Amino acid sequence: MLACAALSSLLLVAPGAQVRAEAMPSNIPQSHTTAPTKTVGALFAPNSGGQHTCTATVLASPTQDLVITAAHCLAGTGAGWTFVPAYDKGKAPYGVWHVTAAYVRPLWQSKQSPLADIAILRLAKQTRGGHSVGIQQVTGGVRLATAAAPGTVTTVTAYNGGSGDRPITCTQRVLRQSGYPMFECGGYVGGSSGSAFVTGSGQSARITGVIGGLHQGGCVDYVSYSSPFRLGVMFLFARAELHRTGDNVVQPGDDGC
């Protein structure tokens, strides 16, 4: 099931995987609600009635205007979409930022390959105190890296679909299944797609994945996948940094669950 928030110049889709009602094994932890983090926020479609349907994270970049999410969240050019960092029970403490371009890998455009379920969005700068600023100057950003080795501790902070809420979080070790990084923790349902796998903390924090990939993130709420972050994601990042022409992202297919 892919729940469409809206159809316009960009479509944001709740991760239709990760909603199957199934008993969670007793050895798997449950996520918990947490205070918002400046670099993590909710994505909103135009005319969505205040409902957010995917999660994104601010990237550390020279242009200071990029966020990363899952490609299956998107269809179209990006116009009209907004990102709210540290969304907190309906409040936008660091403002509402408008998407101006979307970038995905060619492998996603041609085949909607789960190996390439990654998107980078460019956000319009804002005038604050008489100066033009990018989102990273307001919230900070997290550096991008290739996939972490199995056994690496990762923290994943996400907004499940809805409104008026706070994020959830869980810290677990990265596992790997069929070549896809994954973690096991309950409570990651529709809306959590695009949430970053963050290893390390502070200046050492790195984004090594986003919820997506196999089955567009997973078929049950306690198993979440990522596309493997390899050299291709770095080429995607470079294209976004250079402000190349964005993509008209294809609509995602079925998640296979």
Q: Residue 164 has what pLDDT?
A: 86
On whether the CB atoms of residues 90 and 162 are closer than 8 A, the answer is no
Q: What is the pLDDT of residue 18?
A: 47
Contacts of residue 45, Cβ cutoff 8 Å, sequence gap at least 6: 5, 6, 8, 10, 11, 12, 51, 53, 80, 81
Cβ atoms within 10 Å of 140's Cβ, excluding its own: 15
pLDDT in tens, 162-195: 988 999 999 999 999 999 999 999 999 999 999 9
pLDDT, tens digit (0-9, with 9 covering 90-100), for 96-106: 999 999 999 99
Asked whether residue 233 carries a pLDDT value surpassing 70, the answer given is: yes
Quote the CA–CA distance of 70 and 195 in Å, as a whole number. 8
User: Which pLDDT score is estimated for 46?
Assistant: 82
| 50 vs 250: which has the higher pLDDT | 250
Q: Where is pLDDT greater, at 246 or 14?
A: 246
Tens digit of each residue's pLDDT (9 = 90 or more) over 5-19: 333 334 444 444 445
Give the mean model confidence (pLDDT) for residues 30-51.
93
pLDDT at 157 over 80: yes
Structural domains in the chain, CATH included, are 3-241 (2.40.10.10)
Rounded CA separation 60/110 (Å): 28
With 0.85 as the threshold, say if the pTM is over it.
Answer: yes
